[in-house]
């Protein structure tokens, strides 16, 4: 379709050319000179490969090129085709004459799960040969609604090592590409009074596992009117409701949990996914809520950046490198059971301290430590049972937390990150790392804690990989006293 347009545009060009007057010869020479200049400028920028690209103000050739262009320089692609400028732009950003992006703008769920989903979609980006956008992070999510760049949480260098075949670009880079494409489009389309460069082509797809169908279904849908407000930050350069800006197709995939359950089912499902999403659109815009891995192979956790790793190391040193890590997620506990839960924890701690000779304890919890709001989005109803349980523990032992040990101080002092410390955020990653590093790790039993916590499981998985480095256990759950 796009190619058809391009060739019909060439024909139009030729028709216009035949009508061209002698005057045009003069303009052609002018244009040629300007063009050469621009090319030099672009090559200089190209070498830089950074984000100064908006600074390129291409001076517009003032009229259409003449038949001379067409006749004399046909065999030189970089002159013949006005689309060349777009190709150059794309080469700079995507290493290819066409840019194809995979922009999953919402990964759903909190960091531990979002981390998994980001890996799944990196695998998809590789299969689809698409440049993947590093969606913003914040509040323990990976989402376009967040305000911090991906590298606040993650080490992009190590991510690229994990996925060497995937090209990654930040949201900022993406905006620069949109902007430049828009400039080129306006310029060339105005000169030719013609649609030389088409609007952005976008496929917007909702991939979701709500289990509302008994088999996975992929279908076209009418334009989604209630798109995330946060996408408007790409306006006016990407505006899904402006037909002059973009042509958008909308689809939904309803995925069943059975398709994602086993390695075999995912092998089958992922083929279907790749087929369905092998499209020509420049931008594949995905809103994801998939809950499970999409591919048979599950890639290792995206490494966190040095800042967080160093903070975890600092806390470990403050605990004399000897501590019991406790993960107590009070959400989904039965509040009336909490006094007994606290009692059970105290008994267990006393036992481990005595048997293993460990004196320090570190508590990772969704109980509010800094403000009155909990460190989990979904945990909102905090009762006196919760307060009493934590108080009981606090009266028995010195409880160390990321707050009491002064973790993440540098960020906390910077008001830019204020929102990050209201509710869940980067401190969840720190808690996770401190628990991974603990000599002994315990988590709450059923009734006291959310038992199917992927956060707890992630800690246990990581610890089982490190058992040979002197950890005393992988994970134990304390008991409610009878
Ligand atoms: C350009 O096109 C005009 C009109 O068809 C023709 O008279 C002229 O010879 C062409 N010029 C060249 C250099 O081919
Ligand atoms: C590369 O970009 C930096 C700014 O990010 C600029 O200072 C430098 O001059 C550029 N180098 C070249 C070769 O364009
Ligand atoms: C023709 O294109 C090549 C690259 O494809 C370029 O090196 C060369 O300078 C171009 N020739 C002219 C006359 O612009
Ligand atoms: C992706 O690129 C590779 C190598 O360039 C090619 O072999 C493969 O067919 C491409 N896949 C798709 C889906 O375009
Ligand atoms: C992002 O920043 C904007 C403007 O500063 C603010 O209104 C919004 O609440 C922030 N979003 C988050 C998730 O913190
Ligand atoms: C998108 O385009 C529509 C229609 O032209 C316009 O009403 C809206 O303000 C635009 N939004 C942005 C963010 O540019
Ligand atoms: C799209 O562009 C056409 C022609 O330039 C203009 O008439 C029309 O109002 C534009 N539509 C919108 C929604 O901006
Ligand atoms: C990423 O990891 C590498 C290797 O461990 C390290 O050298 C680099 O400093 C890290 N970068 C960040 C931003 O954490
Ligand atoms: C434990 O008690 C101390 C001193 O009373 C207090 O500063 C601290 O915030 C308490 N810790 C928790 C987790 O409530």
HSE, side-chain direction, 13 A CA sphere, residue 66: 15
- Let me know if residue 28 belongs to a domain: no
User: 150 alpha carbon to ligand 8 midpoint, in Å?
Assistant: 14
Q: Is residue 295 part of a domain?
A: no
Ligand 9 neighbour 399 (Cβ under 6 A)? yes
Q: Is the pTM of this model over 0.85?
A: no
Structure tokens at 384: 């006196």
Q: Could you tell me how far CA 42 lies from the centroid of its own chain?
A: 30
Angle at 310 between CA 309 and CA 314, to 5 degrees: 120
Q: Residue 101 C-alpha to ligand 7 middle, in angstroms?
A: 26
Task: Tell whether 285 and 347 lie within a shared domain.
Answer: no
Domain co-membership, 458 together with 322: yes
Cα–Cα distances in angstroms (integers) from residue 167 to residues 133, 194, 337, 339, in the given order:
9, 33, 50, 52
Query: Which residue, by CA, sits nearest to atom 5 of ligand 5?
Result: 147
Neighbouring-strand partners of residue 253: 207, 218
Domain that holds residue 252: 82-223+230-289
- Give residue 462's pLDDT: 94
Same domain? For 276 and 373 the reply is no
Q: What is the pLDDT of residue 350?
A: 96
Ligand 6 binding pocket includes 339 (Cβ within 6 Å): no
Give Cα 374 distance to the centre of its chain: 24
Mutate which of 147, 233, 411 to test ligand 5's pocket (most atoms within 8 Å of Cβ)?
Answer: 147
d(CA 437, CA 359): 15
Query: Cα separation of 114 and 137, whole Å?
Result: 10
- With contact defined as beta carbons under 8 Å apart, do 269 and 259 qualify? yes
CB 248 within 8 A of CB 210: no
Query: Residue 420 to residues 226, 255, 367, 427: CA-CA distances in angstroms?
Result: 26, 32, 16, 9
Query: How many structural domains is the chain composed of?
Result: 2
Q: Do 449 and 321 share a structural domain?
A: yes
Neighbours of 465 (CB within 10 A): 11
User: CA 324 to CA 319: how far, in whole Å?
Assistant: 10
Write the residue with the smallest CA distance to atom 2 of ligand 6: 242
Torsion of CA 67, 35, 238, 193, to 10 degrees: -30
Whether residues 279 and 318 fall in one domain: no
Ligand 4: nearest atom to the Cα of 274: 13
Taking CB atoms and a 6 Å cutoff, what residues make up the pocket around ligand 1?
Answer: 18, 67-68, 71
Question: What pLDDT sits at residue 211?
Answer: 84
> Does residue 50 have its Cβ closer than 6 Å to ligand 2?
yes
**Position 52 in a domain:** no
Same domain for 124 and 242, yes or no, is yes
State the burial class of residue 327 (Cβ atoms within 10 Å of its Cβ: 0-12, 13-18, 19+): buried
In a domain, 314, yes or no: yes
What is the structure's pLDDT at 148? Answer: 97
Q: Tell how strand 141-142 and strand 137-138 pair up.
A: antiparallel
Q: Give the pLDDT means over successive 10-residue stretches in the chain (482 positions).
A: 56 55 55 50 38 32 36 43 84 94 96 97 98 97 97 98 98 97 89 84 96 92 93 96 96 96 97 98 98 97 97 96 94 90 96 96 92 63 89 95 96 94 92 96 92 90 89 94 82
Do 337 and 466 sit in the same domain of this protein? yes
Residue 403: half-sphere exposure toward Cβ, Cα within 13 Å: 13
248 and 111 part of one domain: yes
Ligand 8 probe mutation, 158, 304, 312, most atoms within 8 A of CB: 158
CATH number, position 350: 3.40.50
Ligand 7 pocket, residue 263 CB under 6 Å: no
Specify if 58 maps to a domain.
Answer: no
H/E stretch holding 464 reads helix 454-465
**What SS3 string covers 316-327?**
HHHCCCCEEEEE
- CB of 98 within 6 A of ligand 3: the answer is no
Instruction: Identify whether residues 278 and 313 lie together within a single domain.
Output: no
Give, in order, the Cα–Cα distances in Å from 184 to each of 42, 92, 191, 302, 353: 13, 14, 11, 36, 68
Distance CA 392, CA 343 (A): 8
Answer for the pair 476, 441: CB distance below 8 angstroms, yes or no. yes
**Is the domain of 133 the same as that of 273?**
yes
The answer as to whether 22 is a domain residue is no
Query: What is the distance in A from the centroid of ligand 2 to the CA of 283?
Result: 28
Kindly state whether residues 402 and 375 are assigned to the same domain.
yes
Q: Which two tokens stand for residue 330?
A: 């009070």
Is residue 276 in a domain?
yes
Q: Could you tell me if residue 60 is inside a domain?
A: no
Residues 126 and 217 in one domain: yes
């Amino acid at each position: 379709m796009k190619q058809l347009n391009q060739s019909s545009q060439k024909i139009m060009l030729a028709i216009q050319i035949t009508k061209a007057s002698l005057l045009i010869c003069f303009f052609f020479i002018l244009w040629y000179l300007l063009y050469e200049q621009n090319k030099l400028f672009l090559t200089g920028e190209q070498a830089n490969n950074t984000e100064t690209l908006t600074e390129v103000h291409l001076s517009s050739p003032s009229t259409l090129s003449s038949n001379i262009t067409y006749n004399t320089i046909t065999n030189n692609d970089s002159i013949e085709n006005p689309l060349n400028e777009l190709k150059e732009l794309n080469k700079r950003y995507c290493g290819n004459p066409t840019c194809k992006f995979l922009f999953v703008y919402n990964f759903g769920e909190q960091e531990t799960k979002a981390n998994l989903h980001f890996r799944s979609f990196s695998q998809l980006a590789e299969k689809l040969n698409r440049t993947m956008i590093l969606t913003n992070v914040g509040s323990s999510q990976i989402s376009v609604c967040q305000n911090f760049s991906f590298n606040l949480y993650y080490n992009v260098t190590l991510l690229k090592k994990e996925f060497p075949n995937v090209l990654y670009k930040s949201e900022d880079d993406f905006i620069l590409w949109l902007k430049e494409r828009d400039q080129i489009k306006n310029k060339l389309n105005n000169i030719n009074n013609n649609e030389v460069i088409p609007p952005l082509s976008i496929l917007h797809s909702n991939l979701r596992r709500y289990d509302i169908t008994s088999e996975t279904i992929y279908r076209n849908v009418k334009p989604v009117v209630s798109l995330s407000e946060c996408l408007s930050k790409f306006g006016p350069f990407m505006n899904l409701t402006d037909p002059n800006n973009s042509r958008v197709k909308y689809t939904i995939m309803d995925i069943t949990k059975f398709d994602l359950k086993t390695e075999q089912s995912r092998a089958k499902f992922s083929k279907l996914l790749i087929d369905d999403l092998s499209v020509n659109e420049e931008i594949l815009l995905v809103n994801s809520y998939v809950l499970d891995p999409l591919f048979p192979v599950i890639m290792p956790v995206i490494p966190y950046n040095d800042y967080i790793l160093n903070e975890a190391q600092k806390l470990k040193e403050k605990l004399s490198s000897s501590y019991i890590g406790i993960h107590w997620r009070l959400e989904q506990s039965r509040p009336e059971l909490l006094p007994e839960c606290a009692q059970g924890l105290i008994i267990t701690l006393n036992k481990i301290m005595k048997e293993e000779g460990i004196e320090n304890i570190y508590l990772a919890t969704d109980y509010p430590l800094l403000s009155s709001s909990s460190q989990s989005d979904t945990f909102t109803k905090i009762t006196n049972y919760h307060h009493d349980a934590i108080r009981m523990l606090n009266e028995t032992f010195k409880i160390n937390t990321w707050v009491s040990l002064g973790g993440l101080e540098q960020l906390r002092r910077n008001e830019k990150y204020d929102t990050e410390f209201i509710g869940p955020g980067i401190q969840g990653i720190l808690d996770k790392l401190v628990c991974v590093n603990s000599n002994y790790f315990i988590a709450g039993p059923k009734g006291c804690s959310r038992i199917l916590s992927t956060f707890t499981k992630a800690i246990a998985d990581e610890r089982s990989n490190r058992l040979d480095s002197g950890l005393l256990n992988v994970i134990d759950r304390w008991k409610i006293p009878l």
